[in-house]
Amino acid sequence: MRLSSTFTWALLFSTAALVSTAQNKGYSDCGGLLTDLSGRISNYIGPKTVCVWTIQMTPGLHVAMAIPGLKTGTSHEQMVQPCPVPGGERLPAGGRVIPNADACLSLCPNSLTCLKEYVEIQDGPPGSASYGKICEGLGLTFRSSSNILTVKYTRKPDHPASSFDVYYYGEPEGSRGQGHC
């Protein structure tokens, strides 16, 4: 029996909330290699201003990721915007950013500057193509094109760290549900 993507994400969020509450681990280290089939990255609070987490699944799995909510100290005008395309249409994301189950967007990686703090998602190991710098958003989801996805957190030294959680899990190839365009 195949589950709808809406049900899958609802299950992921509810499970993540239970795991977060039960384990109450506090804040994540500033970066590292994550190889578990599922997990949570929480914001780093400390002196470092750049943290890079690389999530690597076994071959045959893609990384599915959700950021329930993100709000940095950046103004509303600087949050991520969809790339404009001719005719006013929006490009299908092909597993990229999906702000909600009804809208699939493609981001312009260099279309904004989050002046003091942002999270950047890269499709692959560090230095790979970027899905964009994200300063603010609700219900953001991502899907890697391979078994690796990178999360990079950057802030200015004089800017306090904002709170955020990133949930991820391995998703088999070919299991693209409604929420993955």
DSSP state of 25: -
Per-residue pLDDT of the chain (181 residues; tens, 9 = 90+): 444 555 445 545 554 444 444 344 434 689 999 999 999 998 888 889 999 999 999 999 999 999 888 766 654 443 444 444 333 333 334 334 444 333 333 344 444 457 788 889 999 999 999 988 888 778 889 999 999 999 999 988 888 888 888 999 999 987 764 344 3
Q: Give the pLDDT confidence score for residue 161 in this predicted structure.
A: 81
Q: Give the pLDDT confidence score for residue 12 in this predicted structure.
A: 53
**31-171 maps to which CATH number?**
2.60.120.290
Rounded Cα gap, residues 29 and 27, in angstroms: 7
Dihedral sign of CA atoms 174, 165, 160, 54 in order: negative
What is the pTM (predicted TM-score) of this model?
Answer: 0.66
End-to-end CA distance of the chain: 20
Q: Where are the domains of the chain?
A: 31-171
And the tokens for 158? 């004089």
Q: Give the pLDDT confidence score for residue 98 in this predicted structure.
A: 40
| Distances in whole angstroms, Cα of residue 2 to Cα of each of 11, 62, 167, 176 | 14, 17, 22, 11
Q: Give the pLDDT confidence score for residue 60 in this predicted structure.
A: 94
